[in-house]
């Protein structure tokens, strides 16, 4: 099964300016991400960026980079531009790996791509992992997903879903056997969906929840979800994250 990886890497970041270029164990963070992606078995790995310095650094290390428009509203739009530029066919599988995840497991990338390949009805595949902590369940920054019998997403939300009405009313913190899954922000797309994405009108639920994947679901596209046993390594969003990851590499 062939698949491609595209790594969106924007220069601007409110909390960590020039984040893709920050040093992680002697290499720029975006280069660390490329190296992890290459270990997944991808047919190609391309960094999609809006900044010439990022493209230059990636190419200097011997990897592929593509300059994309600065005005993309989302990483998905940026990946769609890459699909067009590379001329990939509608059935091509394209995995979006964020440029601030230098610890991403290559197996996770491969598993999400394989999940999409196996689910002919799906336009998108993503991942989740079980959670058992009350704090995670009720944390709006932790996105939850409910699955159907075939492993397709029924809904994503920042709210606690599914909601254990009787158990919560009785004071139970979190029922032990209740299937609660936290969404992992990695996506595999069919190229045909990416070509159609720009024409999809935003959905109200997407805007209220601030969850981009709900636009696809609102328009009838199906999302298959691979369940992993454990949470993946966290990305780099803050200075504290950066120090933690640097310590691991040192």
In CATH, which superfamily holds the domain spanning 121-184+191-232?
Spore Coat Polysaccharide Biosynthesis Protein SpsA; Chain A (3.90.550.10)
Domains of the chain, by residue range, sit at 1-104+236-249, 121-184+191-232
Instruction: Give the lowest-confidence range in 17-26, 34-43, 70-79.
Output: 70-79
Tell me what pLDDT residue 103 has. 93
Higher pLDDT, residue 248 or 34: 34
- Predicted confidence at residue 44, as pLDDT, reads 96
Q: Residue 29's CB: how many other CB atoms inside 10 A? A: 26
Once rounded to an integer, what is the mean pLDDT over residues 169-187? Answer: 90
pLDDT > 90 fraction of the chain, expressed in percent and rounded = 71
**How distant is the alpha carbon of residue 22 from its chain centre?**
20
pLDDT band, residue 22 (cuts 50/70/90)? very high
Rounded CA-CA distance 157/150 in Å is 19
The pLDDT, as a whole number, for residue 139 is: 93
Residues 224, 145: Cα–Cα separation, whole Å: 11
In the predicted structure, residue 167 carries a pLDDT above the cut 70? yes
Residue 14 has pLDDT above 70, yes or no: no
Average pLDDT for residues 112-138, to the nearest whole number?
95
Q: What is the 3-state secondary structure (H, E, C) of 69-119?
A: CCCCCCHHHHHHHHHHHHCCCCCCEEEECCCCCCCCCHHHHHHHHHHHHHC
Stretch among 12-16, 28-32, 64-68, 207-211 having the lowest mean pLDDT? 12-16
* Helix, strand, coil distribution of the chain in percent, nearest 5: 35, 20, 45
197 pLDDT higher than 70: yes
Cα–Cα separations (whole angstroms), residue 35 to 83, 110, 234, 242 = 21, 14, 17, 18
Who contacts 69 (Cβ-Cβ below 8 Å, separation ≥6)? 50, 78, 81
CA dist 75 and 98 (Å) reads: 9
Closest listed residue to residue 69, CA positions, set 40, 39, 49, 86: 49
Percentage of the chain modeled with pLDDT above 70: 100
- Please give the Cα distance from 129 to 230 (Å, whole number): 6
Looking at domain 1-104+236-249, its CATH architecture is: Alpha-Beta Complex (3.90)
| pLDDT for position 78 | 85
Is residue 149's pLDDT more than 90?
yes
Average pLDDT over the chain, rounded to an integer? 92
Cross-strand bridge partners of residue 46: 6, 64
Helix (H, G, I), strand (E, B) or coil at 151: coil
Contact criterion met (CB below 8 Å) for 66 and 49: yes
State the Cα–Cα distance between residues 133 and 130, nearest whole angstrom. 10
What is d(CA 165, CA 65) in angstroms, rounded to the nearest whole number?
50
Q: pTM score, two decimals?
A: 0.92
CA–CA distance, 166 with 163 (Å, rounded to integer): 9
Q: Which two tokens stand for residue 77?
A: 């739009």
From first CA to last CA, the distance across the chain in angstroms is: 35
Would you say the CATH fold of 121-184+191-232 matches that of 1-104+236-249? Answer: yes
Question: Measured between alpha carbons, how far is 57 from 61 in angstroms, rounded to an integer?
Answer: 6
* Residue where the block lists tokens 């009313």: 169
Confidence of residue 143 (pLDDT cuts 50, 70, 90): very high
């Amino acid at each position: 099964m062939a698949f491609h990886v595209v790594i969106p890497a924007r220069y601007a970041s409110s909390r960590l300016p020039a984040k893709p270029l920050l040093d992680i164990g002697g290499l720029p963070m975006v280069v660390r991400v490329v190296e992890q992606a290459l270990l997944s078995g991808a047919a190609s790995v391309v960094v999609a960026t809006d900044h010439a310095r990022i493209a230059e650094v990636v190419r200097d290390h011997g990897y592929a980079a593509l300059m994309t428009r600065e005005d993309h509203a989302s990483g998905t739009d940026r990946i769609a531009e890459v699909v067009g530029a590379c001329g990939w066919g509608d059935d091509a599988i394209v995995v979006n790996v964020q440029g601030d995840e230098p610890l991403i497991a290559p197996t996770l990338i491969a598993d999400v791509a394989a999940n999409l390949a196996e689910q002919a009805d799906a336009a998108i595949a993503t991942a989740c992992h079980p959670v058992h902590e009350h704090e995670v369940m009720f944390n709006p920054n932790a996105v939850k997903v409910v699955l159907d019998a075939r492993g397709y997403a029924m809904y994503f939300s920042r709210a606690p879903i599914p909601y254990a009405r009787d158990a919560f009313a009785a004071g139970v913190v979190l029922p032990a056997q209740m299937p609660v899954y936290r969404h992992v922000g990695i996506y595999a797309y069919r190229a045909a969906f990416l070509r159609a994405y720009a024409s999809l009108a935003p959905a109200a639920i997407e805007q209220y929840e601030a969850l981009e994947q709900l636009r696809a679901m609102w328009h009838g596209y199906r999302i298959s979800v691979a369940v992993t046993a454990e949470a993946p390594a966290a990305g780099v969003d803050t200075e504290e994250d950066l120090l933690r990851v640097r310590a691991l590499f040192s």
